[in-house]
């Protein structure tokens, strides 16, 4: 089978039951496998909440390695909307022509670098540095900082033999704490400084809230991008005709990117905590238990 072909491990369960069950550190998860249920539950934030104990909606749960709430991701409406409005203008900067030009330059440089070598290990030598370098643009901080992040490896919370490595997570938290302290002492035009100067509900963002946004930016934007880029390269390596089609019809690149992300589902699932006894797929789930929304159900 092609390396870029993903067999669906839940095909039969999806058809027969619609939900799967997994244990995760003694806090079991009911996995919603059908698109209809995923969409319905994602909209019903009152019954399927994000604003639970920090780390609990993530699978595997991060409650043992994190106390800081990730913002806006682990917050429910209406507060979610307030945080979202605050960060959105900054996260939309990549749409500006000047930003796009700088990002294109960075990507061209890494492609040129790769082309000078006989072979490239795509994850560590291409996708990881690409993601880290691009993050310097998003945070508006010096390019050289990317070297530190590359040294952390592909996942900020995982190491070779530990899927949830607390000591590794501490490296990220200490790093962010230090960057926030520097931005307090010496404010600039970087994301840390912008957040520290921002107001939410008529008051300044707290240090803990700023930390919550930054942890999410580092953690959420890392392995997702690395997975998406790596899988896309694997796909085009095995389907040169698709690459040719994109070269001939550049206007379909946007749609093709959406399709690649749908197919590879770089973030496989995300949890919610159930606030009241309810049913999913005619299956009872109890208040304070966990469900997960399997994004790959869109396949
Ligand atoms: C292909 C790459 C990516 C994928 C597949 C992806 C996937 C997702 C998904 C599925 C959610 C929703 C989670 C939920 O409903 O519980 C989410 C939320 C979020 N992601 Fe990403 N993500 C990607 C890249 C990034 C990047 C690069 C950043 C920033 C550096 C980022 C920042 C966020 C933030 C801030 C949220 C929370 C949004 C909110 O609560 O309103 N993501 N992402």
Closest residue by Cα to atom 27, ligand 1, is 221
- Residue 172 near ligand 1, beta carbon < 6 Å: no
Show the tokens assigned to 59.
């699978």
Take atom 30 of ligand 1 and give the residue whose Cα is closest: 221
Q: Quote the Cα angle for 116-120-122, to 5°.
A: 135
Sign of the dihedral defined by the CA atoms of residues 166, 168, 170, 172, in that order: negative
User: What number does the ligand 1 atom closest to the CA of 272 have?
Assistant: 16
Mean pLDDT in runs of 10 for the chain (299 residues)? 81 93 96 95 97 97 94 98 97 97 97 96 96 98 95 78 79 95 98 98 97 96 94 96 97 97 93 96 92 92
Q: Write down the pLDDT at residue 7.
A: 81
With a 6 Å cutoff on the Cβ, whether 216 touches ligand 1 is yes
Pocket test for ligand 1, best of 29, 58, 73, 299 (most atoms within 8 A of CB): 73
Note the pLDDT of residue 47. 97
Q: From the CB of 268, is ligand 1 less than 6 Å away? A: no
Predicted pLDDT of residue 139: 98
Q: Which atom of ligand 1 is nearest to the CA of 131?
A: 27
- Which pLDDT belongs to residue 155? 76
pLDDT at res. 3: 77
For ligand 1, what atom is nearest to the CA of residue 50?
16
| CA 73 to ligand 1 center in whole angstroms | 8
> Is the Cβ atom of 84 under 6 angstroms away from ligand 1?
yes
Pocket test for ligand 1, best of 61, 267, 271, 273 (most atoms within 8 A of CB): 267
> From atom 7 of ligand 1, which residue's Cα is the shortest distance away?
267
CB 56 within 8 A of CB 292: no
């Amino acid at each position: 089978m092609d390396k870029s072909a993903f067999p669906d491990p839940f095909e039969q369960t999806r058809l027969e039951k619609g939900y799967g069950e997994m244990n995760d550190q003694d806090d079991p998860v009911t996995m919603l496998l059908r698109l209809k249920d995923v969409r319905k539950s994602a909209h019903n934030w009152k019954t399927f909440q994000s604003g639970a104990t920090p780390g609990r909606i993530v699978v595997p749960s991060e409650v043992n390695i994190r106390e800081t709430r990730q913002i806006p991701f682990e917050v429910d409406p209406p507060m979610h909307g307030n945080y979202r409005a605050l960060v959105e203008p900054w996260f939309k900067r990549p749409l500006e022509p000047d930003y796009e030009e700088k990002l294109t330059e960075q990507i061209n440089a890494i492609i040129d670098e790769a082309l000078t070598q006989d072979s490239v290990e795509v994850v560590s030598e291409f996708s990881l540095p690409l993601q880290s370098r691009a993050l310097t643009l998003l945070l508006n901080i010096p390019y050289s900082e990317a070297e530190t992040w590359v040294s952390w490896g592909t996942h900020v919370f995982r190491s070779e033999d530990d899927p949830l490595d607390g000591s590794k997570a501490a490296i990220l938290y200490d790093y962010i704490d230090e960057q926030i302290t520097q931005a307090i002492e010496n404010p600039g035009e970087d994301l840390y400084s912008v957040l520290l100067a921002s107001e939410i509900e008529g008051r300044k963002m707290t240090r803990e809230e700023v930390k919550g946004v930054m942890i999410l930016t580092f953690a959420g934007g890392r392995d997702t991008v690395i997975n998406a880029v790596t899988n896309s390269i694997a796909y085009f390596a095995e389907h040169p005709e698709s690459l040719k089609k994109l070269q001939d019809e550049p206007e379909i690149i946007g749609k093709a990117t959406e399709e690649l992300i749908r197919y590879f589902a770089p973030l496989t699932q995300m949890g919610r905590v159930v606030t009241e006894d309810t049913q999913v797929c005619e299956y009872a789930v109890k208040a304070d238990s966990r469900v997960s929304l399997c994004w790959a159900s869109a396949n």
